[in-house]
């Protein structure tokens, strides 16, 4: 014998009574659930309001133009104090030019980026085609510099006022240990390209 009866076997009045009982049962089960939902709904609404407020604050911050993009490195005057190295250039006329540099910059880049008034300095823009960025270092500092290349040596041979501690500024890069570095700009400057132009004109 089956435990369930088909609804078609149940009289109409009994169906109504059964439906009423089911409805009452469901209503009784839902009351505690609904009361619990009321409490949860309160917390849920509060959570939504707080979240919405946080979203609005974030939008307002973005409208203020906040940006995490860093400024371009190597721009004049934008070296951070933590990474900056102080460098002193003694110009041809004896004037002392003091500026800051960043690690990894060449001394030629320091002069160009900081717009230092050194006439004719770095005419070939660091391509090792001249000796116009010739600098004279103090002996202690010179000994700590990276090894000189044959190409740099060839250009230095053409420089005026060559000394035992001469280097080309385009080939010497700033290091943290160079903080307080002082370099001398030679009184005379030699640009091999100018000599070649003079030679061409004399032949003509």
Domain residue spans of the chain: 84-184
State residue 81's pLDDT score.
Answer: 62
Bridge-based pairing of strands 134-137 and 84-90 is: unpaired
Low-confidence ranges of the chain (pLDDT < 70): 1-82, 189-204
Architecture of domain 84-184: Roll (3.10)
State residue 82's pLDDT score.
Answer: 64
Structure tokens at 158: 């053409």
CB-based contact 86:180 (threshold 8 Å): yes
Spatial strand order of the sheet with 84-90 comes to: 96-102, 84-90, 181-184, 134-137, 166-168
Give the tens place of pLDDT for each residue, 39-88: 444 443 444 454 455 544 544 444 433 333 233 344 444 545 667 999 99
The rounded Cα 37 to chain-centroid distance in angstroms is 51
State residue 146's pLDDT score.
Answer: 95
The structure's pTM equals: 0.55
């Amino acid at each position: 014998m089956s435990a369930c009866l088909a609804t078609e076997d149940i009289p109409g009045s009994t169906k109504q009574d059964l439906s009423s009982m089911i409805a009452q049962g469901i209503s009784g089960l839902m009351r505690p659930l609904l009361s619990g939902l009321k409490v949860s709904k309160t917390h849920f609404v509060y959570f939504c309001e707080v979240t919405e407020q946080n979203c609005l604050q974030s939008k307002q911050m973005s409208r203020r133009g906040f940006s995490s993009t860093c400024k371009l490195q190597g721009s004049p005057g934008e070296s951070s104090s933590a990474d900056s190295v102080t460098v002193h250039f003694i110009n041809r006329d004896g004037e002392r030019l003091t500026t800051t540099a960043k690690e990894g910059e060449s001394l030629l880049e320091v002069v160009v980026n900081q717009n230092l008034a050194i006439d004719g300095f770095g005419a070939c823009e660091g391509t090792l085609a001249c000796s116009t960025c010739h600098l004279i270092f103090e002996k202690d500092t010179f000994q700590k510099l990276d090894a000189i290349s044959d190409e740099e040596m060839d250009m230095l041979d053409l420089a005026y006022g060559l000394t035992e501690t001469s280097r080309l500024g385009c080939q010497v890069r700033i290091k943290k240990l160079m903080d307080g570095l002082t370099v001398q700009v030679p009184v005379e400057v030699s640009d091999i390209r100018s000599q070649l132009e003079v030679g061409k004109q004399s032949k003509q």
